[in-house]
Structure formats: structure tokens, C-alpha cells
Amino acid sequence: MSTLSERILGAPAGDYVDRQVDRAYVHDGTGVLTLEAWRAMEAGAPARPGRCYVLFDHIVPANNSVTAGLQHDLRMFARQQGFHFTDVGDGICHQLMGEGIALPGEIMVGADSHTCTLGAFGAFATGVGATDMAAIWAEGGTWFRVPETIAMRMRGALSGPAEAKDLALTYVGRLSMDGATYRSLEFVGDGVASLSIESRMTLSNLAVETGAKAGLFYADGSTCRYLGAYGHRVNPQEPEECCYERELHFDLGEVVPVVAVPPRVDCVKPVAEMEGKPLDQVFVGTCTNGRFEDLSRFAALIRGEKVKVRTLIAPASRSVLERATETGILATLVRAGCTILPPGCGPCLGAHQGVLGEGEVCLSTANRNFKNRMGVGGEIYLGSVATAAASARAGFLAAPEATP
């Protein structure tokens, strides 16, 4: 009887195993270093180029000619090797891998800590560093230590204005920033069925903020339908009785809108307690909350109004942007005074497109609020899309009302 991680990795917790990986991906940031390590290894040809992906999302389009040069080199390399490649404007790596590429039961590695996002599909997906990735290009696999698992048992359904993001921040607050170091999280219980695939991606995304290696959901009917739309026929994964290291219980009906107070993701407080904090910027996007569900919720809450603080919106992928265009959501956002950024990470990592100045405060739907992350001297409060909308309308940090 095994946890999902044990089942996918094929060994009990604590074992070291060597495994081929089903997908391996890098972005323009980590890809540059991976390529450097790869060249230094002089490893010949990649073992399984058809399983390798290079996805440009971090600084797109390039902010200066140094970045442009590094990106050009990596782009040429990816094409020469026959890697899958997505360019400027296509979207965030984790989102694109979640648009019909990640499949239940796969082993996935990404040279980015939020690779755990793909656990939403019942894949074992975890982040690795650049040199590790170069060796994976060379060998097609790597070693893993099979993690112990913490069960996140969910009951009921989210209600009122609470979103998956609030649940995610709530669990990070309960586990703390290292409460799950080296562990996997498994999201289980009757409450899971009520969560959309997009919401599950948000929950898996934050797993690494507790130190976890992966955050997995069992593939169920919703997963099969979602992947069916991309032409995949997959089967649900049936949970087994298994041995969890710990169990945490969550009553979804009790989750309230919260924010993570800088500079810690685990310093989580009800928005109501922080209401009135002046804001200089609201940012909606990232691999946490830049999906269609998020943009459309934001648009529904802001429709017919004008934002009172500069508001930046970055769709997580080109297809999100396409749907937002076709459904009129984009027009609503533009009319409300929002600034639309190209699909990608946007200002999340503080490199371009909305960097904060000294003393500026941002309410962001991202996953990290570390000191200076979005700009030296800037402060980042993390919250849900509904909190972002309420705050954009108010011009200060404001608690959301129930989502229509």
C-alpha cells in the first residue's frame, strides 16, 4: 500500500532510486545556466531530446541586449537539438506543461522550484537545479530520494469569497516555510472533487513554499475530462490505504480570504485584519493565479468600474490570453484601466514590467513575497484574485465580498 509518490517512483519512502524522467523542462532563466553546464560536460547528444522542453517566460521579451543574446543562444540550441520550444509570449512554463502535456503517473522535472504545480495532474513533478538538469539532458534520468508524505485532507467546499489561493496560503501558514521540507504533500479527501483543475494547480503550486518536493492530487473524473479536451484518454488514479507521516485536516467551508504579510509566505492573516493598507500596485498573474478562471473572476468583480491603483495583468499563457480576448474579458480589463502584460512571469521576479520602487507596496496574486523580490525596498502582500479585485477597486488593501 503506497502513497502516490511511492507508486510513481516505484519504491518506498526513504529509498534512493534512479529513474528516467518523462519530461524535463527549463525556462530562459535556468536554461542559460543549464546550457553552460551542458557544454562543460561535453556529453555529446542529449539522450531523449523529444522529452526535453525549453519554454521562454521569465524575461520576455528580453529587457536588454545581454538578455537577448543569452536567449538567442538558448533558442538556437533548443532548435538544433530538436527540443520542444516555446518563445516569447507563449506563456509560463508550468502553465504550458499543464495545458495538455503533463499526464497522471509521469515523472517530471523542471529547472524551476514551482514545477510542483504539475502535481495537480497526478504526476510526480519536482524542481531541480541547472547542473542537475544538464545531467538529465545527457542521461535522460536522475536520482531521487522517495519522499515521506503529509496528507492534506480536505472536507466540504470553499464558500463565499474564499478561493483556492486562500486555502493555499492557509495551509502554508499552518505548515510554515519548512514544515514539509523533503516531504511530498498529497491533497486527499471528499473536498478535492469540488476543486477545479485550475484551483488544484494553485494548490500544488504553493507546495514548495512549505519546503515540499511535490504536491500531488490523484487524477479523478475532472482530471480525465480536462485532459480529454486535449485529446488524451487517461484513467483516474485510485488512492490506496497508505501510511502518511502526518495528516492535516482542512474544512474548506471555514477558509476565509487571507494575505501573506511580507517578507514571509507563512505569515498569513485574514485580509479583514489588514484592511486599509495603502497600495501602489496590484498584480494579477503568475503560475499561481494567471489562468483563465482567475482573469475572468477578476473581470467579473471589476466590470463597470475603474481601478484606483495601477493594476497589471499578465495572462499565464497565450491560450489564456486568447480566451480572454474571445470572451470579451480582455476588453473589460482594459476599460477598467488595467495594464495588460504579455503572457509570462511579468514582474513576479522583479526583473522587468512592473518592478517596485523603494517603499512601494504591491498586492500580488503570486507565490513569493521575499524581501526585495519585486524591486529593492518594495513590499509584497500575497492574496487571491478576489482580494486583488477588491483592492484594485478600493485603492487600498480590501477584503473581497462574495464572488458573483
Chain residues binding ligand SF4 by CB under 6 A are 57-58, 92, 94, 112, 114, 286-287, 345, 348-349, 366-367
Residues of this chain that interact with another protein (CB under 8 A) are 16, 29-30, 32-33, 36-37, 40-43, 59, 63-64, 66-67, 70, 111-113, 127-132, 134-135, 138, 143, 177-178, 181-182, 211, 213, 264, 349-351, 368, 370-373, 376
Contacts of 251 (CB under 8 A, 6+ apart): 155, 156
Amino acid at 326: E
| Residue spans of beta strands (DSSP E) within 169-272 | 184-188, 214-217, 246-251, 258-260, 268-270
Work out how close the CB of 356 gets to ligand SF4 at its nearest, in angstroms, rounded to a whole number: 14
Q: Residue 50 has which C-alpha cell?
A: 523529444
Work out how close the CB of 67 gets to ligand SF4 at its nearest, in angstroms, rounded to a whole number: 15
Residue 367 interaction partner, one of ligand SF4, another protein, none, beta carbon < 5-8 Å per kind = ligand SF4
Residue 8's φ and ψ, nearest 5 degrees, are: -70, -40
151 or 185: CB nearest ligand SF4: 185
Residue 211 interaction partner, one of ligand SF4, another protein, none, beta carbon < 5-8 Å per kind = another protein
SS3 string, 55-111, reads ECCCCCCCCCHHHHHHHHHHHHHHHHHCCEEECCCCECHHHHHCCCCCCCCCEEEEC
Residue 182 interaction partner, one of another protein, ligand SF4, none, beta carbon < 5-8 Å per kind = another protein
Residue 249 interaction partner, one of another protein, ligand SF4, none, beta carbon < 5-8 Å per kind = none
373 or 393: CB nearest another protein: 373
Residue 256 interaction partner, one of another protein, ligand SF4, none, beta carbon < 5-8 Å per kind = none
CA-based torsion, 25, 29, 35, 36: positive or negative: negative
Residue 364's φ and ψ, nearest 5 degrees, are: -125, 150
Please tell me the distance from the alpha carbon of residue 296 to that of residue 382, in angstroms, as a whole number.
Answer: 19
Residue 64 interaction partner, one of another protein, ligand SF4, none, beta carbon < 5-8 Å per kind = another protein
Work out how close the CB of 219 gets to another protein at its nearest, in angstroms, rounded to a whole number: 25
Element (DSSP H or E) covering residue 335: helix 329-335
Work out how close the CB of 87 gets to another protein at its nearest, in angstroms, rounded to a whole number: 18
Work out how close the CB of 151 gets to ligand SF4 at its nearest, in angstroms, rounded to a whole number: 25
SS3 label, residue 313: strand
Helix axes 318-326, 292-302, angle to 10 degrees: 40
Work out how close the CB of 273 gets to another protein at its nearest, in angstroms, rounded to a whole number: 23
Residue 264 interaction partner, one of another protein, ligand SF4, none, beta carbon < 5-8 Å per kind = another protein
SS3 label, residue 217: strand
Work out how close the CB of 377 gets to ligand SF4 at its nearest, in angstroms, rounded to a whole number: 20
161 or 262: CB nearest another protein: 262
43 or 242: CB nearest another protein: 43
Identify whether the C-beta of residue 237 lies closer than 8 Å to the C-beta of residue 222: no
Work out how close the CB of 62 gets to another protein at its nearest, in angstroms, rounded to a whole number: 9
